[in-house]
Every structure is written in structure tokens, then in C-alpha cells.
Amino acid sequence: MRKPFFKEFKTLFPYFRRYRWRYLWGFVCLALTDAAQMAIPQFTRAAVDLISSGRFNWYAVLALGGGMVAVMALLSGGRFLWRYFIHGSSRRIEAELRERLFAHLLTLSYDFYQKNKIGDLMARATNDLNAVRQAISMGLVAFVDGTMMAAAILVIVFIQDAETALPAVIPLPLITALILLFGNVVGKRFRQAQETYSKMSDTVQETFAGIRVIKSFVKEWWFIKKFADTNDDYREANMGLVKLFGIFFPLISFLSGLTTLIVLLVGGGRVVEGSMSPGDLVALFSYLQMLIWPLMGTGFMVNMIQRGAVSLARVNEVLGTVPAIRSPESPGRAPELPGENIVELRHLSFSYTEGIKALDDISLNIRRGAVVGILGRTGSGKSTLIKVLTRMVDPPAGSVFVQGLDVGEWDLDELRRLFGVTPQDSYLFSDSIKQNIRYGLEKLPVLPGGEGDPVNKAAALSAIDRDLETFHQGWDTVIGERGLTLSGGQKQRVAISRAIIGDPEILILDDSLSAVDAETEKRVLTGLLEERRERPGRPARTTVIVSHRVSTLGYADLVVVLEKGRVSEYGSPQELVRRGGFYARMAALQQLAAGGRLAEGGRHG
């Protein structure tokens, strides 16, 4: 048990130092409580000896009773105070650890969430931190209280009657050996139980996130079975622990009961012989009954601290993960007189896995205020290029420059504030529409409302304001998780509003209008690009449009065509049509498809 205790719990030492006075006062109150509890058998001994002598009066008995009441009052007050100080401190540490874990998770890079499942991370933030709290509260109390109580009781009984106490403590070494053996087994079983709980959490999270797909394929039965299997595994893992406790605690009770039997045989004979008073025997019985708690408490302590050590190891594993992408220690500064190009790619190559290039030797300049389109087949590297620009993945040094500074030298927050991105997956939060749009602001100030409200302006530019009447509470309508209550086009337009409300230097629309009709797309792009042109007091903003629609790319000044991670075509939409390459073929196919739909509509009209 010592190895995981010292290895894992040392990470909590800063918290213990911060709350050391609370813990100190808690242990002082715990010591007073134990002292009061151990004083009670002395009152009982005096009362029994007084009554058995036949020479007592009610005043003496009442005086002893009054003393016991006073000690019990001290006992109750001490119990309240040590719980207040120690349990209160453990709750504070748990809250701080949870906040620290959450904040650290937000710093971790894109690749971390590809390797770790959300359900497992949720289990660490809830179940595991709860086990840590129990270890630093009741586990610590059981350790300190059990040690103090056991030592004090053994001293008292040996001083009171060593001849009776000596045979009574014979079972204690066996109990200690059982406790140590039990602790080693519990740690392994508890880790297995926690890992099984994480798998069950993963199943639940994945099921509810994909509920629409599950219902559309009528696969509820399959996921019910999948959850039942993981639930059964979790039950079996916990039953393994229950069986251990089912054997351990009765065995401890049996061995501690042997001490009572020994005292009855040895102490009873000494009372009959007259070498021990009845009060001494009653007091000895009381102390041995008290000794059961430290012995049982040691089992609780082993259980809780082993659980806490295992859980804290899982939490520390996350806290010890260093973000793969982070700001440099000394961030650089962009030139005060920026050049014409806001983005420069210099022989950029990037691979997710060794030997397979997602981007291959791309050199490209995007001038300030330009509208640039990106076209390519699925898997051609379009989304990877966007991730490289915003440093969601780390490009090689010297290959990507924004405002004349290598992206690796930028402060990460400052770099990403330059961009407004609407990803392919228009993720929305379970909040009001207005609040989802306001997330695009660097800060969340109280907005004025009316025509001066930037929410209204952003909504008008994305054309989501046309759907305002369909929202039963207007902009304050709370949408479901991930925008479940909105259509695909509505989600995309809310995401566009969120990206443009902060007037970013570089706006990236990553296939963000695929779910809207052509008329709405024209309105959005016309208004949006007009808004981002140069105007008094503000230079033109840069816009990057990633799309499979040639009609959408027709708004661009320049179009980049990617094929297998390389730039295969580059030029204005008109130039690319004349060249007869991939862009021209896509334009012809989409024009033909559009004509076919119109003809089909005419035949059925």
C-alpha cells in the first residue's frame, strides 16, 4: 500500500499545505473526541465498582452520570467540528481538482481527444475524484483515528491489567497480516472496476450522441444489449470487491471477537479470585469493544486509500499530459508594418502518420483582403490545410506564416483570435441561439439589443434572421444538445453568425453552406463578402471558402485546387474554367446536374 500512497498522493501536498490549519484543527478535535470516548469506560468502571460495593448513594451515582453527560457533550461537539474541518477541506480540494482537471483538458490538443474517449474522461472527473475525496477525508480519518485509538487503548488496558490484556491481544498480528494482504488485492480489483465504469460511460455517451442515427436504423435493441453487457461487466467487477469485503470484515469481526472471549475467560477468573474488580472487567470489555473500530477502521482505511490512489493515478495521468500544441515560452511579434500577404505557405508538407502525406510541398500566398476558394476531392487535404493555419495540428517550422510570423512563434490564443472558423461539423451548444452566436466574441459583454446589437447584425449577414419567426422564443430559444432541434441549414447559419460576430481578420468557411439552398447561399455570400470589404477606419478582411460547389467558389478572387495533398490548379474561377482541368470538369458536371433538375422539375410541373 505504501508505494501507491506516496507515489500518487504527493501530488496533493500543495492542497494539504493550503488547508493545513483546517486539517490541524480537525485532528485536534478528533483527538479530543477520542479522549472523551476513552474516558467513558472509566466512568462506567467507577459506577459499577460503586454499586457492587453496596456502599453507594444516589448523589455519587448522579455525579458520575452528570460527568458522563458532560463528556458525551464534548464528544458530540468534537465529532461535529472534526467533520466540519476535515470533510470540508476534502470537499474544497475535490472542487479545486475538478476545476483544474477541466481547465487542463481545455488546453490539450486535438490528438489527445482522438486517443481518449469522452466517457472515460467523464468517469475520471466524477467517479475517480469522488474516490480521491473519500481517501483524503474518511480514509485519512480512519488512519489517524485508528492509530491514536489503538495505541491509547492498548496503553490503557496494559496499565489497568497487563495479565488479562496480554493474551487478549494475541489475535492482533494476524489481523494486521490480513489487512495488508487485503489492501494489495483491493487496489487491483478497484482499478478493474473503474476501467469498466469508464467503458460503460463511453457506451452511454456514444449512444445518446448518436440517438438520431440509432432511431433511424431501428437499432435501439442493439445498443440496449451493448449497454447491458458493459453494465454486467461493471456489476461483476464490483461484485468481486463485494466478495472480498464479505470475507474480510466478518473475519476481522471473528478475530476481534476472540479477544472478547479471552478477556471473559481470563478476566472472569481473576474477578472470581478477587484480583480484579467487576468495574475493571467492565471497563476492559468496553475498551476491547472500542478496539474493534480501529481494527475495522484499518480495513476501511486500506480500502479507501487504495481506491483513492488508483483513482488519483488515473486523474494524474490526464493532468500529467503535456499539450502537444502550446504557446512558445517567448512568443514572437508580428511585424508592425505587415506585408501584402497575410498567409504564406512555404513548401508545406504534413503527415498524420509516417510515410503518408496529407499535404505535400504546398507553396501559396494569400494576400490581405482576398477571397480565396479551396476545392478538392474528399481526402485531398482541405480540412488539414485549415487545421494547419489555425495550428490545430502542428506544421513543420518555417512552413506556415501568418502576418509574416511563423505560426509556431505566435502566442496560441493571439493566433486563433485572428481566425473565425465554421467547421464542417457545425457544433452548437445546448444554450439559446443568441448565446451560441455570442460565443464568437472574445468577451461576453452585455449587448445593447435592437439594431445596435451585433447578434442581430451577424444573424442578418448569415440569413438566420429569416427563420426568427419559427423560433418560439426568438433569439432566446434554447436549442437541444449539438443543435438537435435545428435543421442542418439553420445550424450552419448559426455557426456562421458565431464566426463573423467578432469581425475576424481571417474568416474560414469550411463547406459551411452545403445544407442551404442556392438562393440563401447567394444572399449569405453576397452580404458577407460586401461586409468584409475595405471601409473607412478598417482594412479589408480575408475570407477562405472551402466548398465542393463551383457556384460557391465563383465568389472567390482565386481558387486553389488540391489533389492528393498537392496544389494541382491555382487561379481565378474564369481562368480555371478555360484551362479544362478538375475545376472545369466539376463546373460542367454541376451545371449539367442543375440543368437536369430543372428539366425534371419542368416535366413534373
Question: Residue 170: which CATH number?
Answer: 1.20.1560.10
Torsion on CA atoms 548, 552, 555, 559, rounded to nearest 10: 0
Question: Residues 453, 458, 461, 466: is their CA dihedral positive or negative?
Answer: negative
**Is residue 77 situated within a structural domain?**
no
Q: Lowest mean pLDDT of 58-62, 184-188, 194-198, 243-247, name the range.
A: 184-188
Q: Of the residues 475, 503, 531, which one is the last residue of a structural domain?
A: 503
- Say if residue 347's pLDDT is above 80: yes
Report pLDDT for 603: 35
- Say if residue 354's pLDDT is above 80: no
- Say if residue 501's pLDDT is above 60: yes
Task: Please write down the long-range contacts of 555-558, taking CB distance under 8 Å and 24 or more positions apart.
Answer: 555/371, 555/373, 555/525, 555/526, 555/529, 556/371, 556/372, 556/373, 557/370, 557/371, 557/372, 558/370, 558/371, 558/372, 558/373
Report pLDDT for 205: 78
Same domain, 290 and 191: yes
- Say if residue 600's pLDDT is above 60: no
pLDDT-derived band at 243 (thresholds 50, 70, 90) equals: confident
Across the range 128-137, mean pLDDT stands at 90
- Residue 491 φ/ψ region, left for φ over 0, alpha for ψ in the -120 to 50 degree band, beta for the rest: alpha
CA distance 194 to 151: 35
Report pLDDT for 184: 65
**Is residue 526 situated within a structural domain?**
no
Q: Of the residues 285, 319, 353, which one is the last residue of a structural domain?
A: 319
**Is residue 122 situated within a structural domain?**
yes
- Say if residue 362's pLDDT is above 90: yes
Structural domain boundaries, residue 570:
340-418+508-520+541-605
- Say if residue 4's pLDDT is above 70: no
Element (H, E) at 120: helix 118-123
**Is residue 331 situated within a structural domain?**
no
**Is residue 74 situated within a structural domain?**
no
**Is residue 535 situated within a structural domain?**
no
Q: What is the CATH number of the domain that holds 379?
A: 3.40.50.300
Cell triple for 232: 454486467
Pick 92 or 43 by higher pLDDT: 92
Task: State how beta strands 400-402 and 506-510 pair.
Answer: unpaired
Q: Of the residues 258, 284, 319, which one is the last residue of a structural domain?
A: 319
Across the range 131-139, mean pLDDT stands at 89
Same domain, 555 and 572: yes
- Say if residue 343's pLDDT is above 90: yes
**Is residue 312 situated within a structural domain?**
yes
Q: Lowest mean pLDDT of 71-75, 160-164, 513-517, name the range.
A: 160-164
- The single residue listed with the C-alpha cell 445498443 is 223
- Say if residue 504's pLDDT is above 80: yes
- Say if residue 604's pLDDT is above 60: no
Report pLDDT for 576: 92
pLDDT-derived band at 498 (thresholds 50, 70, 90) equals: very high
Q: Lowest mean pLDDT of 203-207, 252-256, 267-271, 286-290, name the range.
A: 252-256
Same domain, 382 and 489: no
Same domain, 138 and 210: yes
Note the pLDDT tens digit of each residue in 442-452. 765 555 555 56
pLDDT-derived band at 147 (thresholds 50, 70, 90) equals: confident
- Say if residue 274's pLDDT is above 90: no
- Say if residue 417's pLDDT is above 50: yes
Across the range 388-414, mean pLDDT stands at 91
CA distance 525 to 554: 10
Same domain, 235 and 299: yes
- Say if residue 251's pLDDT is above 80: no
pLDDT-derived band at 183 (thresholds 50, 70, 90) equals: low
Note the pLDDT tens digit of each residue in 565-584. 999 999 999 999 999 889 99
Average pLDDT, the chain: 84
- Our count of domains for the chain comes to 3
Report pLDDT for 39: 87
Backbone φ and ψ of 440, nearest 5°: -75, -10
Same domain, 450 and 413: no
Sheet holding 506-510, edge to edge: 419-422, 506-510, 542-546, 371-376, 558-563, 566-571
Same domain, 405 and 445: no
- Say if residue 355's pLDDT is above 60: yes
**Is residue 32 situated within a structural domain?**
no
Same domain, 257 and 116: yes
Same domain, 260 and 128: yes
Intra-chain end-to-end CA distance of the chain, in Å: 80
Same domain, 142 and 286: yes
Note the pLDDT tens digit of each residue in 528-546. 999 999 888 888 999 999 9
Same domain, 364 and 513: yes
pTM of the model: 0.77
Report pLDDT for 594: 61
Report pLDDT for 277: 81
Same domain, 252 and 132: yes
- The single residue listed with the C-alpha cell 500577404 is 341
For residue 449, give the 3-state DSSP assignment: coil
